Amino acid sequence: MKTPSTAATATFGLEPAGYRKLLDQFTQARRILVYSGAGLSADSGLPTYRGAGRHLWTGDTVRRVATLEGYARDPAFAVEWYIEQGGWLHAARPHEGHRALQALDAFWQVTHVTQNVDVLLEAAGCAKVLHLHGRYDELRCLNCDWHGRAARPEDLRPPCPNCGGQRRPSIVWLGEMPDAALVAQAEADAAAAELVLVIGTPAEMYPGAAIVETAHRAGAGICVINPEWCENLHYAHWQLFGTAHAVLPGLARDALARRQAEGRAVPWYWRWLAEWVR
């Protein structure tokens, strides 16, 4: 049971002993998998499609822009909708939480598996990002195998240069499955990770939820960073209640400080010895 005194020193709802164990897990880990959703981008002003906010991903619009049938029936409506959304995505900038995640690259082998179609993790400089649901700035053709990059949102408008067909954004719509090779890569990295950070998503959608479960079964420590309790992640070892923007800078700072302190504890000849025995 929580007492007022422990609650006062708790870090985002986590008791001090639990927080120390989380930092221990960072120290012991070599590979980290970060599974992120809309909550990570929300602090950059992008809407969480099904949470609070501008509710753009609701009602009839979903059918018209995020299903193959809807898009093909009225491409003009869908294309203009995506160009408007693309303007927001194009203008969005990474926040302190994205930069904190990038800082982890210096000490850990980090794989990002994200449901987000924006490229804010790349903009922050994160080295390895797998887009489970595609990227808003990549395009495909409805008819043929053509695919390309959109330098600006309006690049969705012209016909396919290969067959003259209708272009579409290369994002995973309702009724479609993520790229199988990409899911396999994410599963492999999840199985190898010692620590998983689940950020800004209840991890209810499959196959994304299965990627976190794979890491858990393989023995990884699971840490959830989300303002609300995630029932689907009841098996997580830690839950930090807060937004990515609020939690990540402090968490990354503490984890890096602990890691650097561990590094200083290693005898001076250790590095030389490690080279010599190679």
> Of the candidates 92, 94, 95, 129, which has an alpha carbon nearest to the alpha carbon of residue 114?
129
Closer by beta carbon to Zn ion, 47 or else 148:
148
Q: Which stretch binds Zn ion (CB under 5 A): 55-63, 131-139, 158-166, 195-203?
A: 158-166
> Of the candidates 247, 270, 260, 278, which has an alpha carbon nearest to the alpha carbon of residue 106?
260
Give the sheet arrangement for strand 129-131, strand by strand: 129-131, 109-114, 31-36, 195-199, 221-225, 238-240
Closer by beta carbon to Zn ion, 144 or else 218:
144
Q: What number of residues does the chain have? A: 278
| CA distances in angstroms from 113 to 97, 134, 184, listed in the order given | 16, 11, 12
- Work out whether 144 is an interface residue with Zn ion (CB under 5 A): yes
Name the H helices within the chain: 4-9, 16-28, 38-42, 60-65, 68-73, 75-91, 96-104, 120-123, 180-192, 208-217, 244-265, 270-276
- Work out whether 161 is an interface residue with Zn ion (CB under 5 A): no
Q: Is 112 assigned a catalytic role?
A: no
Q: Distance of alpha carbon 88 from its chain centroid, rounded? A: 18
Closer by beta carbon to Zn ion, 91 or else 163:
163
Closer by beta carbon to Zn ion, 160 or else 211:
160
Q: Distance of alpha carbon 44 from its chain centroid, rounded? A: 14
Closer by beta carbon to Zn ion, 125 or else 161:
161
- Work out whether 72 is an interface residue with Zn ion (CB under 5 A): no
Tell the smallest beta-carbon distance from residue 153 to Zn ion (Å): 19
- Work out whether 163 is an interface residue with Zn ion (CB under 5 A): yes
Closer by beta carbon to Zn ion, 51 or else 165:
165
Q: Which stretch binds Zn ion (CB under 5 A): 136-144, 221-229, 235-243, 245-253?
A: 136-144
Q: Which of 165, 207, 249, 250 binds Zn ion (CB under 5 A)?
A: 165
Strand pairing of 221-225 and 238-240? Answer: parallel
Q: Are 32 and 192 in contact (CB under 8 A)?
A: no
Q: Which stretch binds Zn ion (CB under 5 A): 21-29, 95-103, 163-171, 192-200?
A: 163-171
Place of tokens 């299903």: 67
- Work out whether 160 is an interface residue with Zn ion (CB under 5 A): yes
- Work out whether 146 is an interface residue with Zn ion (CB under 5 A): yes
CA distance linking residue 74 with residue 61, whole number of Å:
12
Residues 90-129 that bind Zn ion (CB under 5 A): none
Q: Which member of 133, 147, 237, 245 is catalytic?
A: 133
Q: Which of 6, 28, 58, 162 binds Zn ion (CB under 5 A)?
A: 162
Q: Which stretch binds Zn ion (CB under 5 A): 92-100, 117-125, 135-143, 193-201?
A: 135-143
113, β-bridge pairs? 35, 130
Residues near Zn ion (CB under 5 A) are: 141, 143-144, 146, 160, 162-163, 165
Which sequence positions are flagged as catalytic?
A: 133
